[in-house]
Chain A
């Protein structure tokens, strides 16, 4: 087996204990805490009898280790329990709402990378110039801004004062119809449907929340790009490349940038963590019908199955994203490929 392939398989194998750990933690959070989980799961309106029914249904009368196996067994069948508020299986609810969250998150992330990476590179190349100062201000402000607060500010300015943004309520203004569901991403589905009007309407709804998230995400990416670009530019191999007469573009992009990208890609893992968390807040501010606002609604009515399902789903999503990041890292950095045993 070739070294790169072995490294990829090894990395995929490494997610197994992490996923196991995630399942254990979510089990601990649902079952093993002080108090009676049956009471939580039955909901606020339950009487003694329905609590008892929940207890038996969840196997809470069994010893803890057996409860764990029951739990894992349920998970393997995709059974996250039923939501009290919607009455549907939690998995169905999450699957319905996940595309909305992903569309928002990915748009924000693309937006953030598209601004932050060139900004960070420019700031490093023109160290001390106005671009550098702008970068520093954006970075410091970006990490200091609470996302929910930025969102509210943007709504006030662009919706209330200027009136150029649509009302911050969901993915599509009520005068439009939802495009037929293919991917669940409105932007893509409306294009598949050949309906540019809906596409632009969806885009208009998306701009403010995506910008809010992107502003928050931009900071760590720009900071890391700038720092790693500076490190790369001051390293010995850049001196060698310059001494060998390589062109400025080649030195900058072929040598420095590719090396600088490695720490940036690593940071993306942390950025995903932030984005997925901030997503919850942004969805609440913009009444975005994703899994974040689903969880917030569930919190209000103490819908435990829904909350725990949400936490687990987010963790699995995050583990998956990290896997993707690490695999792309393996492809960029030969040292990782060969280090794997």
Chain B
């Protein structure tokens, strides 16, 4: 075995005593093998990797167990010995690649630092070798990139640099800690494919740490599923995915959105209430006509939204899909009337809302009709207001409710969104991610809106919570008869709730149509790229789409 971890436990000293982040896990990794460690936030998966590199944050230490790499006892190795192992034998890449690079040092010099440290280069040939390392990760024009600073590069490019840095000294093992979190889905695919290719080329072993079971299953030979600092299940990727043994794994597998799943099937099998009936009408509720938004930029006007038109019928759910910077958020800001369009009409039940300045819309009678669920529930709740006050705010300001009537309505909303009433007096920092999401939804539906915009409502949530929230949204729609505009980067998630899907790229709609049709027979190459970039579980291996245009865009 190349790497063997036995009963590893990691603890952190905090002001409230010692906290066990990893509680006795055992893992083995053979030469050339790819292992995926999967778990939700707080499962201890990243801490495990820091522990075996011995780069734990201050206060953290290995409290028990053994870590052996090629016969070397990593737990007891001296700092000096570890330094020769780090980077030369075992390397790491991290999430948030831009922050992972020294912001005030040229990327080429950062690679040189590593090469020189491990005596892989001399003063004379360091530059040449660094450029070679950049070329190895398929960076165009490596001579020019050598002189770039991280802030001048895109996230995907920065991750390539981090990979180049990690692989510069030909390590035998690469640990990738959430390497694609925060990157667009097509970029994610490009980065993952690249690292897989390099790992195979060089016959390296690797560990992929991720929250995304689908991603791990696609790229790894073997999976280890972690929960609360323990490994609950290990096995070959196909087997874990196709036939999960542990309860938690099964829940995780089910909650991971798949092209063929229904929203109910994301929930654990024993907790699936019957689906509520939901009947969209064909009466238009909101019609968007040639909507445009142009911002004044430093280098001339920026056309964020370039004239889009679509219709949302009463009770219908429409998905708006695209990657960062495609104009979907600008569109939702304009529709919810926080932002004035440059041009175009927003016809709501026949009234052109675009004519009413965003400034005045706050007092408009239709204000309560159009509401928004924010992307990041934490950010959308005032840290100084408790959950009850957050939900009560629109009722006070717009419905004029006070006293008992107000309290009853807030409690009713809490019940509707599955928020225990005793949590209403808690402040946002005292609530979990799922609970905060419920508060945000309760506030948005407080005034019985007819049109609700969901702006990536589950992007910040773990998949098991995401499954619950998506089901809640599906139920609310059926009960209250709202129309949704579901804004997301993830077609697989959007599809679960929406009958119609709109795909945006660079401020324009490139494809629109019934969800099933867009998913199975995408007409536009960009839609195809998006679909093929989504992680695919192993049992559904499809042909890989060419990603040439996406890669050149990096």
Interface residue ranges, A against B (CB under 8 Å): 127, 234-237, 239-248, 250, 254-255, 258-259, 262, 332-335, 338, 341
Contact = CB atoms under 8 A, between A and B. Distances in A.
A236 B103 CA distance: 10
Given A240-B162, A335-B149, 14 more contacts: A234-B58, A237-B100, A239-B100, A240-B92, A240-B165, A243-B92, A245-B83, A245-B85, A246-B83, A246-B117, A248-B79, A255-B102, A334-B151, A338-B149
Contact of B94 (A236, A255, A338): A236
Contact of A244 (B57, B58, B86, B151): B86
A236 to B, nearest CB: 4
A247 to B, nearest CB: 6
B376 interface: no
Contact of B114 (A237, A245, A332): A245
A243 B162 CA distance: 11
A323 B92 CA distance: 41
A335 B104 contact: yes
Q: Give the interface size bracket for B toward A.
A: 35 or more
A338 B53 CA distance: 36
B289 interface: no
A17 to B, nearest CB: 21
20 contacts: A127-B58, A234-B58, A237-B102, A239-B50, A239-B100, A240-B101, A242-B86, A243-B86, A244-B87, A244-B165, A245-B84, A245-B87, A245-B118, A246-B83, A246-B113, A246-B114, A247-B83, A259-B102, A332-B104, A335-B149
Closest 8 CB pairs of A and B: A245-B87, A245-B86, A244-B87, A236-B99, A243-B92, A237-B102, A240-B100, A236-B100
Contact of A335 (B79, B151, B165): B151
Interface string B149-171: 10110000000001001100100
Nearest to B162: A240
Contacts of B55: 239, 242-243
A237 B103 contact: yes
A241 B85 contact: no
A129 B402 CA distance: 55
B88 interface: yes
Contacts of A335: 103-104, 149, 151
Contacts of B104: 258-259, 262, 332-335
A341 B114 contact: no
Given A236-B94, A335-B151, A341-B298, A243 B53 contact: yes
Nearest to B55: A242
B96 interface: yes
Given A334-B104, A335-B104, A341-B298, A244 B166 contact: yes
Contacts of A334: 104, 149, 151
A245 B83 CA distance: 4
B103 A259 contact: yes
B210 interface: no
Contacts of B102: 237, 240-241, 255, 259
Contact of A236 (B85, B88, B96, B113): B96
A235 to B, nearest CB: 7
B91 interface: yes
Nearest to B90: A243
Contacts of A242: 53, 55, 86
Interface in B46-101: 50, 53, 55, 57-58, 79, 82-88, 91-92, 94, 96, 99-101
A332 B103 CA distance: 11
Nearest to B117: A246
Contact of A243 (B84, B91, B152): B91
B164 to A, nearest CB: 11
A234 B53 CA distance: 16
B79 A254 contact: no
A341 to B, nearest CB: 6
A237 B101 contact: yes
Nearest to A243: B92
A334 B57 CA distance: 28
Given A245-B85, A333-B104, A234 B57 contact: yes
B162 to A, nearest CB: 7
Given A243-B86, A244-B117, A237 B99 contact: yes
B403 to A, nearest CB: 48
Nearest to A341: B298
A332 B114 CA distance: 22
Interface centre among A235, A241, A262 (most CB of B within 10 A): A241
Nearest to B165: A244
A243 B113 CA distance: 13
A240 to B, nearest CB: 5
B100 to A, nearest CB: 5
B74 to A, nearest CB: 13
Interface centre among A240, A242, A248, A332 (most CB of B within 10 A): A240
B3 to A, nearest CB: 15
A255 B102 CA distance: 7
A232 to B, nearest CB: 10
Contacts of A240: 92, 94, 100-102, 162, 165
A247 B101 contact: no
A338 to B, nearest CB: 7
B91 to A, nearest CB: 7
A244 B114 contact: yes
Contacts of A248: 79
Interface centre among A239, A245, A254, A334 (most CB of B within 10 A): A245
B189 to A, nearest CB: 23
A244 B100 contact: no
A240 B92 CA distance: 7
A237 B100 CA distance: 4
A235 B99 contact: yes
A259 B149 CA distance: 14
Contacts of A258: 104-105
A265 B50 CA distance: 33
